[in-house]
Structure 1
Amino acid sequence: MRYRGSHRLGKWLEQGGEKLLDARKDDLQVWYAAQRKSFCLEIGCGKGGFLQTMAKLHPDTTFVGVDKMLAVAAKAAAGAARQGLSNTTFIVGDIGHIGELWHEPRVARIYLNFSDPWPRRRHYDRRLTHAKKLALYAKWLCADGWLEQKTDNLDLFNWSLASLAENGWDIAECARAFAEGEPDGTSLSSKYVQTEYEAKFRSVGLPIYYLRARPKQAE
């Protein structure tokens, strides 16, 4: 699939290329090994608006965005570079490839914002809250880390709640059709930091669903 606007890829790479890592290359593992503090990870970062806002709210925290499409990740990286957001990094690739490289719990937050719902049953294994994906997240999250999901898709939301419960996760918060609020600069929560999609959906009156969960702690 060709990304709309990808004819600008060269410009985006020139502007944000230093912020881009390839999940299939050694530079990602070098970057990971060099991290001395936990970081926050958005899977399916799109154009990067959410991460840019989070990076401004929390300048001492590193925010990492992942997207499968080079043009999408490059546009996000270029936007962050233009704003001088030194605490952002973007990865091009699939989280399955990343899972082969990351073996230590270094992630403070995992954000799943308006992910593809993959509505056909035969594609459920592609959902970002499928059991195989949850196993990766459990390996990556720090002991005090959290997974957060926001979506406009009620079927995906209910399915995610069931998948989390079935795979040994504690659900700390479940908010259905919650009202928008002001971003909290003291919290890494994604709840009140809107993505481009959320702003669009709210403008036409669609309800937004949110959950926060973590793997159950060993007794």
Structure 2
Amino acid sequence: MAEKNISQGLKLALDMGPILAFFVGYMLLRDRTFVIGGSEYSGFILVTAAFIPLLALSTLVLWRLTGTLSKMQIVTLVLVVVFGGMTVWLNDERFFKMKPTMIYTLFALVLGFGLLRGQSYMQSVMGEMLPMQPEGWMILTKRVTVFFVLLAVLNEVIWRTMSTDAWVNFKTFGLTIGLFAFFMLQGKLFQTYGIETDKPGE
């Protein structure tokens, strides 16, 4: 399927919609307990069960509209299905809380492996969207690798030492704001190593 362009607003809605829905669902059901099939389930478990197909649906819609999915989106969906499924099946919220740790650790390992080989895997994936000199890509990849490691450690600390409310807020807002702030802080790097491309018609 050929890649198609969609509005950034729609793409953002498909990316962030399931996360925001999870947050709203949790806030509504966090103090409730449900008995299903003779077993008690917390609101967190039920919201997790709903989040899995919702994320799968939004990912499917995004793929149908654009004709493509990034490796990060695919891996994220797989890990959500695996860890979310284990959370619901075993009625244990710890598995879902581990998911961000697994995601960021995995990507840090992949990027780190590329760096050991003298390559920037980020450049091979994002090079067309963000034209930049190879040296700039290597610097950015090193920074992103370290950042992912820090996020993985931070997620572990928060879910193991703080309340579920604190973790949900961190997952919904903290990670999103952190990623946005990190890339905003790379502005000087983009200016220094960015490559100007000719606009159509010039």
Q: Which has the higher strand share?
A: 1
Settle same-fold status: TM greater than 0.5. no
- Give the TM-score range, shorter chain: under 0.3
Given the two structures, how large is their TM-score scaled by the length of structure 2? 0.27
Q: Which has the higher helix share?
A: 2
